A = this chain, B = another copy of it.
Amino acid sequence: MSLPQRVRLVEVGPRDGLQNEARPIDVADKIRLVDDLTHAGLGYIEVGSFVSPKWVPQMAGSAEVFAGIQRKKGVTYAALAPNLRGFEDALTAGVKEVAVFAAASESFSQRNINCSISESLDRFLPIMEAARLHGIQVRGYVSCVLGCPYEGAVSPKQVAAVANELFAMGCYEVSFGDTIGTGTPGATRELFNEVAGQIPRSKLAGHFHDTYGQALANIYAGLLEGIQVFDSSVAGLGGCPYAKGATGNVATEDVLYMLMGLGIDTGVDLDALVAAGQRISDVLGRANGSRVAKARLSG
Contact = CB atoms under 8 A, between A and B. Distances in A.
A125 B75 CA distance: 61
| Best-surrounded residue of A212, A214, A219, A263 (most CB of chain B within 10 A) | A212
Interface in A284-299: 287, 290-292, 294-295, 298
23 contacts: A3-B186, A181-B295, A184-B257, A184-B258, A184-B260, A184-B261, A185-B220, A185-B258, A187-B261, A212-B291, A212-B292, A213-B216, A213-B251, A213-B257, A213-B290, A214-B257, A214-B261, A217-B258, A241-B291, A241-B294, A242-B287, A245-B298, A248-B295
Interface string A206-219: 00001111101101
The 4 closest A-B pairs by CB, nearest first: A184-B261, A213-B291, A213-B254, A216-B217
A292 B292 CA distance: 19
Interface residues of A, number: 38
Interface in A269-292: 287, 290-292
Contacts of A248: 291, 295
Contacts of A212: 254, 257, 291-292, 295
A221 interface: yes
